[in-house]
Amino acid sequence: MVAPAGSFFQEAALPEQRLVEGVAFPAVLVPSDDATAAGGGLDAFLDAVRSERASTVEPLLRGAGAVLLRGFPARAAADFDRAVDAFGYPELPYVGGAAPRSNVVGRVFTANESPPDQKIPFHHEMAQVPTFPAKLFFFCEVEPKSGGETPIVLSHYVYKRMKEKYPEFVEKLEKDGLIYTRVLGEGDDPSSPIGRGWHSTFLTKDRSIAEERAAKLGMKLEWTEDGVKTIMGPIPAVKWDESRGRKIWFNSMVAAYTGWKDARNDPVRAVTFGDGSPLPADVIAGCGEILEEECVAVPWRQGDILLIDNWAVLHSRRSFEPPRRILASLCK
């Protein structure tokens, strides 16, 4: 594909891409011939992000829901931090999320640090709280020895498939929403995919401040001897994407029901209908199958930057053989 004259970027195709309703998913950008000939380093890439974000990157993000930038000169966490900054999206503090992750540099965090043999099921980032990122970036600092992809799937298409296959379930889901329940210890448990303790979830060790921050999220807290039970909801499980004029499957239902499991949490109790009634296991399994059928999993390469519109795309993580280091940044 030929780049527009003078552009730093050009579109490319990958074998893993798929056409969804006529649009290549995800969109892929690589350095243009002009950019390669000029031999521009990191600063040239950052300048191009600033000058071409609105004209090149954002139309692709709006159309495809995700854009993979491959072959650009971002190699380390600090480079990625500068790249995120160059895009100019405001940072979203990670308050209320479940994943254990640590700050690396600036606005860059590790992605979910749960053990490599664990899969992380499909979810919209922080769909279980009212304040969630509009966009998220992932960066491959160290590519996996094997596995470890971050599969992505288009949310409106999942909604469409679920509505066709389970119309009564979707009708009840749209009417009642979901309640998410999670039990947190004080400190983080890196052996669990939802092992973030309440100190780091609410960025405080003070119970009263934690309660204030939970209340702002619309979350109820029930303190236990060694931790706290968080109750979120009822919260919508299907949202309306105003900018694209379509319904989206905006929830962490499958992730919670199948993956919110550790010493403190039983996943079947982690998520229910908004009226408190249990979710049917067969429909959860069927939804999991649809997510897998419709997803795209591009193997990571060192230096890859994946920009996801959290209003359009769910993501997950496959198990992997170390080493693997994927970093993340959340934006409003």
Give the pLDDT of residue 95: 67
Query: Tell me, what's the pLDDT at 14?
Result: 98
| Share above pLDDT 90 across residues of the chain, in percent, rounded to a whole number | 89
Domain 9-151+296-331 shares a fold with domain 155-292 = yes
The pLDDT value recorded for residue 93 is 81
For residue 83, what pLDDT band results from cuts at 50, 70 and 90?
A: very high
pLDDT band at 4 (very low <50, low <70, confident <90, very high): confident
CATH dotted code for 9-151+296-331: 3.60.130.10
pLDDT band at 165 (very low <50, low <70, confident <90, very high): very high
Span 133-158, pLDDT tens digits: 999 999 999 999 999 999 999 999 99
Q: Name, in order, each residue with C-beta under 8 angstroms of 13's C-beta and a sequence gap of 6 or more.
A: 1, 24, 28
Mean pLDDT of the chain: 95
Query: Residue 43 to residues 39, 107, 127, 262, 307: CA-CA distances in angstroms?
Result: 11, 19, 35, 44, 19
Q: Which amino acid is at 167?
A: P
pLDDT level of residue 114 (50, 70, 90 thresholds):
confident
**Two structure tokens written together for 77:** 């966490």
DSSP reduced 3-state for 254: helix
Question: Which of the residue ranges 1-15, 175-189, 246-260, 303-317 would you say has the lowest mean pLDDT?
Answer: 1-15
Position 131 scores a pLDDT of 87
194: its two tokens: 């939802």
Question: In the predicted model, is pLDDT for residue 97 greater than 80?
Answer: no
Residue 23 pLDDT: 96
Q: How far is CA 26 from CA 35, 151, 162, in A?
A: 22, 10, 22
The pLDDT of residue 2 is above 70: no
Contacts of residue 105, defined as CB under 8 A and 6 or more positions apart, other chains included, come to: 77, 78, 81
CATH class, domain 155-292, is alpha beta
Per-residue pLDDT at 61: 98
- Residue 27 bridge partners (DSSP): 67
Predicted confidence (pLDDT) at residue 304 exceeds the cutoff of 70: yes
Decide if pLDDT at 106 tops 70.
yes
Q: Would the pLDDT of 294 be above 80?
A: yes
Band of pLDDT at residue 5, cut at 50, 70 and 90? confident
* Predicted local confidence at residue 15, as pLDDT: 98
**Domain parsing of the chain, residue ranges:** 9-151+296-331, 155-292
Output the six-digit token pair for 10: 């050009």
Q: What local confidence, expressed as pLDDT, does residue 125 receive?
A: 94
Q: Work out the pLDDT band at 38, boundaries 50, 70, 90.
A: confident
